[in-house]
Structure 1
């Protein structure tokens, strides 16, 4: 058992140089991308399983044959479960009442983030999830950044009509995430717009008596502060803020934003990173309210590189906003 743990620990540490080599020299290599995504996840959970079996073995002596048999039964079932969590986005619904307005109006918002379109993207999975979103008949689609994983040049599948089939009556709008910047911001913006999606980049949108502020990503060090952008809107109307990274939630609270929508965290994607990400943000996933400020942080519509999720699922947020 000790030898198995040591060997697997070496494989776990090997993730770092393999990932560096892929990111630095073979960024566009599809095979290496698929390999490292699976490698990262598999080595983690073989390591965790061996630790669990090691504890069991301390109290109940297990032969190496028994250990291997348990591993070969448990791991495939676990990987199927984790892939299922990743592959098809589930719908999460929230009813939010903005008490101070009381106009009797309602708007249905579809919110997604972190689609990470790349050469590794399974088009069928994306389109199945988009159809589930369309069935909810949203009035508007808001996308919280990282629609493109790196460079739009890497995307092999044709998504030119995939998003247009949703047809929300007030349109589709996206902000930028850190990944759009990594792969060439200008070309990625053109690609996103070619899908029928409008970019909000420190811009203000007014729809149905609601102000929507689309903030540029934190990667842009010259992006505008929330206080500056808020001066451009009618504060007698509700304010929705789109910001890719939820580290801005405290700033949104100070500026009395009504609803902030974020992504970026992936809810940690799998253990133990769930616990790390939870400590990093005021809200790392889901719905939380701070004073008058409602916040929703999406776990992501798909995922970056790793096609598995544990204690996390790909998701679509459907928000019925009453104001």
Structure 2
């Protein structure tokens, strides 16, 4: 097993190195005339970027000092996103490169060389100086360094390379801005057959995948809390992946959660990242901050039951989801809303006749085309779906894991408004 893991890791590293070599070739070597400051700078960037990315991942997983995680996090994780879009843009660039080359050749045809003059008859004996003619000096070929103008091949490489770099940097820049400005509010109405008329219009603010850590800290948590409170919900549901780190390191960053306000309180269930970060300590910390953890538990609200189950990752610690404990012995006439981090848990929710499951985990794919990967691993990637008599709502999440960047999957806080069919 260890040998297989090592071989797979080596194969991944080799592919990663090959892709970066190709990026260096197209963006640095092919766009410069030779060794010089520009080529050296480009080489440094394309070597330092992947090294910082690997260092950031290792530092986070190995529990390195938090200050070191923060130093490495921003450049390392941003490179993760930038390298993805550089390589996608380079692939597109390879498709358009022949078209650009043809366009350049069509606009600037090669000049035909002037015909050589006919040789003059050579007179016997020395030619007088006044009759001697200087031989014509051939013009420098197009693109010769001596002319000061780039060759057509160099011009095409610079045009395509510049477009590739601009597209990648622009995409990552805009996607990062979207995360840092905070999640938008999304409103969804969900009718429930067993919901009493008195609960018609009950609002649940659903937030998942905040991912406080070396990159997203206290300021980001405050923006999330302020956005939730601005919706004036009846209940707040935090459905996992709150943090990427220990209570010791991230306790101050999570402190704004104590400001959450809802008429029926705030509730929390674990996500898989809590089990990478000390789930037991975080459950106690969120309880101290005023949230109520639902660890395979249920509470009866005036109009419906609210239940929560642990994440699937808890199985490795003997703390996995227990649907029977959370949903057993309840009044089947009452509607029940379930908080479960992963959409995969919907199948057991259907078996236990849950009316609505609220989940996160997928980030909506976070970085396109990551939505295709997420769709292969989850029954629903984002939004509202139905499985038998059970509805599933999957939030794209408020934060981001790894790169603080989202492309094609904007962050959100969803206000679920329950609707009674008896109203």
2:407 equivalent among 297, 303, 310: 310
Gaps of 5+ in 2: 1-18, 27-45, 102-154
Cα drift, residue 24 of structure 1? 3.1
Residues 150 and 314 of structure 1: is their aligned pair in 2 closer, same or farther, counting only changes over 3 Å? same
Q: Contact conserved, 1:118 with 1:150, CA < 8 A, in 2?
A: yes
Partners of 1:316 and 1:120 lie apart in 2 by: 20
The answer on 1:114 being equivalent to 2:209 is: yes
Cα drift, residue 280 of structure 1? 1.4
| Deviates most, 79-88 or 198-207 | 79-88
Q: Contact conserved, 1:118 with 1:156, CA < 8 A, in 2?
A: no
1:26 match: 64
Partners of 1:250 and 1:143 lie apart in 2 by: 21
TM-score, length of structure 2 as denominator length: 0.70
Residues 235 and 155 of structure 1: is their aligned pair in 2 closer, same or farther, counting only changes over 3 Å? same
Partners of 1:158 and 1:178 lie apart in 2 by: 19
**Cα displacement string for residues 267-287 of structure 1 (whole angstroms, at most 9, x for unaligned residues):** 121123210111211112111
Higher relative contact order (CA 8 A, sep 6+): 1
Cα drift, residue 50 of structure 1? 1.1
More strand by share: 1
1:230 match: 327
TM-score, length of structure 1 as denominator length: 0.90
Partners of 2:368 and 2:240 lie apart in 1 by: 24
2:159 match: 66
The answer on 1:123 being equivalent to 2:218 is: yes
SS of 1:220 mapped into structure 2: helix
1:214 match: 308
Partners of 1:164 and 1:24 lie apart in 2 by: 29
More helix by share: 2
The answer on 1:255 being equivalent to 2:352 is: yes
Residues 166 and 220 of structure 1: is their aligned pair in 2 closer, same or farther, counting only changes over 3 Å? closer
Partners of 1:145 and 1:303 lie apart in 2 by: 13
1:187 match: 281
Cα drift, residue 102 of structure 1? 4.3
CA radius of gyration, larger in: 2
1:265 equivalent among 362, 368, 374: 362
Task: Tell me the matched-pair count.
Answer: 321
Cα drift, residue 166 of structure 1? 3.3
